[in-house]
Structure 1
Amino acid sequence: MTVKNSFRNGSIKEMPIFSNVIYQGDDLIYKNNPLKPDEFYTPILQGCYPDPALTRKGDDYYMVCSSFAMFPGVPIFHSKDLVNWTDLGGVLNKVSEFNPHDTGISQGVYAPSITYNPHNDTFYMIVTAFTGGMGNIIVKTKDPMKGWGSPIKLGFDGIDPCIFFDDNGKGYIVHNDAPDKGKALYEGHRVIKVWEYDLVNDKVIPGSDKIIVDGGVDLSKKPIWIEAPHLYKKDGRYYLMCAEGGTGDNHSEVIFISDNPKGPFKPASNNPILTQRYFPQNRTDKVDWAGHADLVLGPDNKYYGVFLGIRPNDKNRVNTGRETFMLPVDWSGIFPVFENGLVPLEPKIKMPKGVTENKTGKDGFFPNGNFTFTENFTSEKLDYRWIGLRGPRESFSTVTKKGLQIKPFEVNIKEVKPTSTLFYRQQHNTFSFASTIDYKPASEKDLAGIVCLQSERFNYVFGITKKGKDTYVVLQRTDKGQSKIVASTKIEIKKNIRLQVKATGDSYQFSYALNGVNFENLGGSVSGDILSTNVAGGFTGALVGLYATAANDAHAE
C-alpha cells in the first residue's frame, strides 16, 4: 500500500519503522526430548491455533483453525504427509466480506470445519461468525491454494457446524445447538442437530433438522457442552464424533454410531476416546484440555486425529492458548481410539510410515519445537504468521527499504477497534521477542513499541513516547481494563532503539537498548498472569506485537 501524506499534518517522521525482529523459543521440554529421525513434535501448531479440522484430497491435506477477531479469519495449512505443513494464510481475507472491526478478541470466527466433496470436486469451509450478523456461513473453492469464494449465510442457529457428504452425494450439516424451547434441563445442556443440505442452492433444507444427540453420551449424568460434531462413514456405518465437557479441565472426545446419518446414534461403550482429565494436576510437562478433534486417513493408510490441548506454564496458567496436537488413531475395531490419548500426552510421536523427512522449520515449512523466527521485512509479502486484529495488516503497514513502517491509528490497544499493531502468536512459555525501532515521537499522544496482549482489557504496552520535550521509555500494565504505569525512564535517542520482552514461564521482563546491544531492564520482573486465559478469560492465546498509536495513554511518570 502507499502511504498518504494526510496523516497528522503530513509528518511521515512520526511513523515508526520496525526492523530486525527476532522471536526465539526456548522451552525445556524440547531440550529434554530431542527428536529421533522417525519422530515429530506435537503440538504441530504451537500458540493460539485451536479447534483444528482437516480434510484430504488425494495426497493433499488441508487443515483449518479458529482465529476469533484476528485477521484474516480461519488460518489454513497444507501438507502432503501430516508432518510438514505450509501456512497458506487465512480463508476469510477480504474485509468487505468478513469484518470483525467492532468485536472483542474472543468473538469473530471460531470452530471451523473443512470437507472435500469428491462428487463435485469442491472444498467446503463452514464456520460460525460472531460479527456483522453473519452467523453460520460456508465458503467454497476448487483449489484452496487459489483462494475461496464469498461467504454464503446459512439459515440455522447454533455453533460448530460441520458438513458431510455421503457416498451417494447427499450432503448433511451437523452442529451444536440449544435444546428445543423449554427443554433445557441444566446449565450447559446442549444438543447436536443434523440437517439435509441442498448442494445446488447451498442451503439447509427447511424442516429437515433433527436432534441426534441430546445432552451427550448419558443425559442422566448431566453432560455439558456437547459440541464440535464431525460425521464420518466407515464400513457402511455412520460415526458422529463430538467434544464433551467444555473446553477446559473436563474436556474430552466422544463417539456415537448409527446406520443412518440422521440417527438414531448410539454412544460407544468405551467413551471418552480422548481426554486428559483423569490425571494429577501437578504432573510434569502437563498437557490438558484435550478435545475438539477431527480424523483423517493418513498417507500410510492409518487414521490420525488432530485436536486442541494446552500446555500451562510454571504457575499452571495458560499463556500460549489452545494449540493443535496430533495423535495416531487405531480404528481397527468398531470404534476409533486415539493411541495414547487416555494417558498423559507425550511431546512427540512417530511419523507416518513412508514419511522419511521432518522438514518443519525448513524450506518454508511451519516450524515447531524450539525455533528462531527472524524477520527483516525484506520480502514484499509479509509472512502469514504476522496478523492483524479486527482488520487487515495492510491497512497500516508498508514494507520500506529500512524495514516495516506502521502508520499509527488514533486508536489505543484497549479499544474494540482495528489497531495499528502487527501481531505474532506467543508459541512458547519461555521465549524472547525483540525489534529495532526507528522512531521519534512528537507528543505524549504518540507511542511505538512492543505490546504483549491477551485481550483489549489485559495487556502490557512497552514503548517510546514523549513527556514535554523529553523522550521516555514506558511500561504500562492493563488489568481488567484498568491501566497503570509500572515504570518509565527518560532516554536520549541518538540512533535506533531496540526493545525486547523475555519470558520465562510466568516471569516477563521488558528491556531496551539505546545502542542496540546493551539491554537495560525497565520495571523488573512482572507477572504474565494478565496474559493467561485463567486471569483474562476468553478463548485466545497471548499475542506479541509491533504497536504504534496516535492515541497513547501510557504517560511517563
Structure 2
Amino acid sequence: MRRLLRRVACGLALVLGTAVHAQEPVLFDWFEYRGHDAAFEQPLPPGHYYNPVLTGFSPDPSVVRVGDRYYLVNSSFVYFPGLPVYESRDLVHWALIGHVIDRPSQVKLDGQGMSRGLYAPAISHHDGTFYVINTSVDSGGNFIATATNPAGPWSDPVWLPGLAGGIDPSLFFDDDGKAYVVNNGVPEGGSRYDGHRAIWMQEFDLRQHALVGPRRVLLDGGVDPATKPIWIEGPHVYKRDGWYYLMCAEGGTGQQHSEVVLRSRAVWGPYTPYSGNPILTQRDLPSDRNQPIVNAGHADLVEAQDGSWWAVFLASRAYDRVHYNTGRETFLLPVTWKDGWPSILPKGKAVPQVVKGPALLARETQAPHSGNFTWRDDFDKPALDASWMFVRIPAQPWADLRAHPGQLAIHPQADDLDTLHNPSFLARPQQHLAFDASTQLVAPVQANVEAGLAAFQNEHYWYAFGIHREGQQWLLTVRRHRGADSDVLATATLAKAPQHLQLKISGDGGRYGFAYDDGTGWQWLLRDADGTVLSTDVAGGFVGTTLGPYARLLHQP
C-alpha cells in the first residue's frame, strides 16, 4: 500500500503539489460517507454475500484470475485516475490497488462530456503480463496497456488504429499461442438500422502489439437478425472442452439490456446461438417489483480455482421503477453449465441481493464496497486516498495535503461544476440509495470564494451546497443545475464565519436534504429536494452520482 501511495503521488504530481496561487486555499478537516440501505439490513447467512459486490458507479466489469487472485477493471469515462484495478481472493471482497491511467500524459479528457472518455475495458493475463484493452472514444480510439504488476505501473497506451470506430475490445489467448482482439464495430456495408452493430475479430501480434491479418465479422446484428437486434457489444471469447464461446451484451445498457452466448468448434466460427438466450436479463420482470435491479448485462466469466464458474456483470438498483442515482454497478452470480452451454440467471428470475458465495469466500472484508458501511478520510496522509477521483485531468495543482498537515487544502478555480474542463471538486461515488455525506471546513474569508459539498451527476445535473462571504456576513446556498436551468433553492445568512462549519447532504431514493452545523447543532437548510435530477434516466449518460468537497471562484479578483 505504501508503494501504491508513493506511485499515485508521483503520477498525480500535476494535481497534488505546492504551486503558487493568488487565492488562499479552503481548508477541509475531514470527509465522511455513511450508507444505510434497507436491502443491506437483511441478515447475511454464513457463506453468503450481498449484491452488488462493488456498489456505486462501477460499470462494465471485466475479470481475470491469476493463480489464487482475481483482478477486475471498470470503466471510468472522464474521471481521473482512470480504469480502476481491484484485487480479490474470493470474487466478493475487493480492494482497489491502482489505476491503468494514472498519469496525465497517458490520455486526453479535457473538453469531453462525463459519459465520454474511457469506455469498457477488458483485462487479461498471458505469460506473466497483464493486458488491459480499452477505447478512448473521443481522443485516440482503441489502445492496449500492459503491466507485470496489476497495481502498476501500467505502460503508456499503445494505440490500435485498425479498430477505428469500434468500442469494447477484448483479448483472447488461444491454446496454440495466437491472440485475437474482438470488438464491436459498424457492420460490413454500414448499419441498416439504428443500433445495428457487428462483432469483429482480428489476430493480434503479442510481440509487436499490433493487429495483423484479416479482420472478419463473427456476429452481425445479434443472435436473431430477423428481429433487428440492437447494440451487440462487450464481446468476450472463451474456450472450454474444445468449444469456443462468444458472449456479448445485447439490447443497449438500459431496461432492455441482456447477455447472449454463441459457440463454435473453430475460433473464426461460424458461431451458433444458444437456444436459451438470453442467459442474463431483467427486462421481462414486472416493473413494480420490490427493490428492482435493472439493466443487467455486459458480463464477463471467470473460472475459479475449484472449477466453479462465476460471472461479473453490470446492473442498477432502481427506485420508483425507473430512477437510479448510483449508476451501473458490479454484480456477481454463479454460472451453471448444461449441455455445453453457460447460464447466469434463469429467465424470469430477479437478480438476488443475497447470494450463496464461492467455496473460497473469505470471512473478512478488504474494503468498504458492499453492504452498509462508513468511510472516512481525515486527510492525514501524505497523498490523497486512491479512491478519490477528479473530473477530467487538472491542468494545474489545486489539491494539497502537504501545506496544512491534517487538512485538505483546495485552491479554488474559476470553473464551476458545469464546465467541460476540470472544476476544483473531489469526487467519490454515491454507493447507496440512502446515505449521508458530510464534511467540515473552515469558511472562506475571501469574498470571491465559495466552498462546500457537491452531489454531481454530470456537467448539466448537480447540486452544490456551499458558503461564501457577502460583506460582513456569510451566505449558505443550495444551488441546483438541471439541464440548462440553474437555480438557488435555499439560503441562510450567518452573522459570523464559523471556525469549523459542518455540511451534510443526505439522500433517500429521490429525496435529498441539505443540513449545516455552525456550532449550534444541525439545522436543515433544505429538505425533500428533487433527487431524480441526479438519476440516469433524467440526466442521461453512463455514470453515477458522485459526492465530495469543492471550492470555486465567484469572480476573478
- Give TM-score, length-normalised by structure 2: 0.93
| 1:27 counterpart = 2:37 | yes
Kept in 1: contact 2:198–2:232 (CA 8 A): yes
4+ aligned runs moved over 4 Å, structure 1: 339-342
2:424 pairs with 1:410 = no
User: One-letter code of the match for 1:75?
Assistant: P
Question: Which of the numbers 498, 502, 507 marks the counterpart of 2:506?
Answer: 502
Deviation at 1:425, TM superposition (A): 0.3
Indicate yes or no: 2:205 matched with 1:190: no
Matched, 1:325 2:345: no
Distance in 1 (alpha carbons) for counterparts of 2:236 and 2:467? 49
Q: Of 501, 525, 528, which residue of structure 2 is paired with 1:522?
A: 525
> What's the secondary structure of 1:408's corresponding residue?
coil
Contact 1:409–1:551 (Cα < 8 Å) also in 2? no
- Contact 1:430–1:505 (CA under 8 A) maintained in structure 2: yes
Pick aligned residue for 1:486 from 484, 489, 494: 489
Q: Percent identity, aligned pairs only?
A: 37
Residue 175 of structure 1: aligned partner: 183
Q: Distance in 2 between matches of 1:462 and 1:98?
A: 32
| Aligned counterparts, 1:287-436, within 5 A | 287-314=293-320, 316-339=322-345, 342-355=348-361, 357-360=362-365, 364-391=366-393, 395-399=397-401, 400-436=404-440
- The corresponding residue for 2:9 is none
Q: Which runs of 5+ in 1 are unaligned?
A: none
Please say if residues 359 and 365 of structure 1, whose CA atoms lie closer than 8 Å, have aligned partners that are also in contact: no
Tell me if the contact between 2:477 and 2:490 (Cα under 8 Å) persists in the aligned partners. Answer: yes
Instruction: Tell me the TM-score normalised to structure 1 length.
Output: 0.93
User: Shift in Å at residue 321 of structure 1?
Assistant: 0.2
- 2:279/2:346 contact within 8 Å kept: no
1:76 corresponds in structure 2 to 85
> How many residue pairs get matched?
536
> Residue deviations 1:225-280, cap 9 Å, x none?
10000000111110000000110111100001011221111111110001111110
Query: 1:403 offset after TM fit, Å?
Result: 1.3
Match of 1:128 among 127, 135, 156: 135
How far apart, CA to CA, are the structure 2 residues paired with 1:300 and 1:551?
59
Q: How much does 1:298 deviate?
A: 1.5
1:147 equivalent among 134, 153, 176: 153
Partner residue in 1 for 2:172? 164
1:129-171 Cα deviation digits (max 9, x unpaired): 024x310010011111232111000021210000111001101
Contact 1:72 1:388 (C-alpha < 8 Å) held by counterparts = yes
Look up the equivalent residue of 2:19 and give its one-letter code: K
- Shift, 1:386, TM fit: 1.1
Rounded Cα–Cα distance in structure 1 between residues aligned with 2:309 and 2:395:
37
- The answer on whether the counterparts of 1:441 and 1:447 sit within 8 Å (CA) in structure 2 is no
Q: Is the 1:291–1:307 contact (alpha carbons within 8 Å) kept by the matching residues of 2?
A: yes
3-state SS of paired residue (1:110): coil
Q: Map 1:164-243 onto structure 2 (within 5 A).
A: 164-181=172-189, 183-206=190-213, 208-243=214-249
How big is each residue's C-alpha offset from its partner over 1:410-434, in whole Å with a ceiling of 9 and x where there is no partner? 2111110011111010000100000
Residue identity in the other structure for 2:413: F
What whole-Å deviation, never above 9, does each CA across 1:269-324 have from its counterpart, x for those lacking one? 11000111111000001111100000001233100000000001246311000000
Deviation at 1:99, TM superposition (A): 2.6
Note closer, same or farther for the CA distance 1:82–1:551 as it changes in structure 2 (3 Å cut). Answer: same
Asked whether 1:458 is paired with 2:461, we answer yes
CA, structure 1 residues 53+342, in 2 after alignment: closer, same or farther (shift >3 Å)? farther
8 Å CA contact 2:118–2:137 kept in 1: the answer is yes
Q: Determine whether 1:3 maps to 2:31.
A: no
